[in-house]
Amino acid sequence: MQLKTIEETIAAAKDTSVTIKAPGTVANMVCGFDVLGMALNDPGDIMTVKLIEEPVVMIHNVDNYGLPTHPQKNVAGVALLDMIERMEHRVGFEVTIEKKIMPGSGIGSSAASSAGAVVAANHLLNNIFSNEDLVQMAMLGEKLASGVKHADNIAPCIYGGVTLIRSIHPLDIISIPSPPLYVTLVHPQIEVRTEDARQILRKQILLKDAIRQWGNIAALVAALMKNDYSLISRSLEDILIEPIRSILIPAFAEVKARCLEAGALGGGISGSGPSIFMLSSDEKTAREVETTMKEVYTYTGIEFYTYVTTVNRQGVTLIA
């Protein structure tokens, strides 16, 4: 139900300011290009959103990435502008963003900003918008960042856990239950732009390859729902995207092969890269996988960060 005036909107708000943590995400999950994604407990962006009376978006960055502060050029800004347009009686938002997820990392940096902004703003408005509404708004941020409206980072960021995007038009998002999983990531300090990573993909594929890929996606969803680690491992295969995109990521093949030897269930490129993720069934294995990733990238001489984390079941969370 829409409130009658701007003054009533602000007066009825639970809070006039809120601080949230927006999780990083792993899109595609190897075989599920643009349809599968999962939220991570670490890393995550910190954002504070404040209600203001004027129906505008003001953005402040408190990091060193130099991202645009003009709302129409910022992923959080375009998402919030769409939210304002959807309101009968409009208010505005002042946003302070502390990015912990490096842009171009492949860990859902743009999704964290756009999804985090609309979830925080919706909280201030007493949750007048549904999660599907929020995904639609946040996808405008993804379109600004990559040229394409996709939800495989946005959906898990908002819903938490593992999500399947059955359709964008109309939007149809399914939350997928999953067993305990440990996620190890290595983030080489190079940038792979999502838009560039999309442009190198093949425009046509063989039917036999498509059939094999569909089988892996279906099996991975079934494996997650059945808590079947063995089937998860067998299903983490991508014969369409990974062979092409992996050429943009130094030492990818060696990292993957050695992590599998260390006991990982499987893994691959996180989003469009350059980050590489591996899934494990227990923390001990996940730590051994991290050690392996560090050994490989130390040898390359490329600066890198690693994370050992778990699946975030909540999505964007309020912290203050």
What are the structural domains of the chain?
6-176+313-318 (3.30.230.10), 182-310 (3.30.70.890)
Q: Which of 25, 48, 142, 288 is catalytic?
A: 142
8 or 136: which leads in pLDDT: 136
Examine the pLDDT at 144 and tell me if it is beyond 90.
yes
**Which residue type sits at 296?**
V
Q: Are strands 36-52 and 17-27 parallel, antiparallel or unpaired?
A: antiparallel
* Of the listed ranges 6-15, 229-238, 280-289, the one predicted with least confidence: 6-15
d(CA 32, CA 129): 28
Examine the pLDDT at 2 and tell me if it is beyond 60.
no
Mean per-residue pLDDT, 293-315: 96
Q: What is the pLDDT of residue 1?
A: 41
Q: Which of 9, 163, 194, 285 is catalytic?
A: 194
Residue 194: active-site member? yes
Examine the pLDDT at 10 and tell me if it is beyond 70.
no
pTM of structure = 0.92
Q: Which residues pair with residue 310 across a beta bridge?
A: 182
* Of the listed ranges 105-114, 143-152, 188-197, 306-315, the one predicted with least confidence: 188-197
Residue 94: active-site member? no
Tokens describing residue 138: 């946040």
Half-sphere exposure of 76 (CA within 13 A, CB side): 33
Nearest to 44 by CA among 109, 94, 103: 109
Half-sphere exposure of 249 (CA within 13 A, CB side): 31
Examine the pLDDT at 164 and tell me if it is beyond 70.
yes
d(CA 155, CA 174): 9
Mean per-residue pLDDT, 58-64: 94
Find how far residue 153's CA is from the centre of its chain.
3
- The greatest distance separating any two alpha carbons of the chain, rounded to the nearest whole angstrom, comes to 63
C-beta separation of 27 from 185 below 8 A: no
Which of the four pLDDT bands, split at 50, 70 and 90, describes residue 201? confident
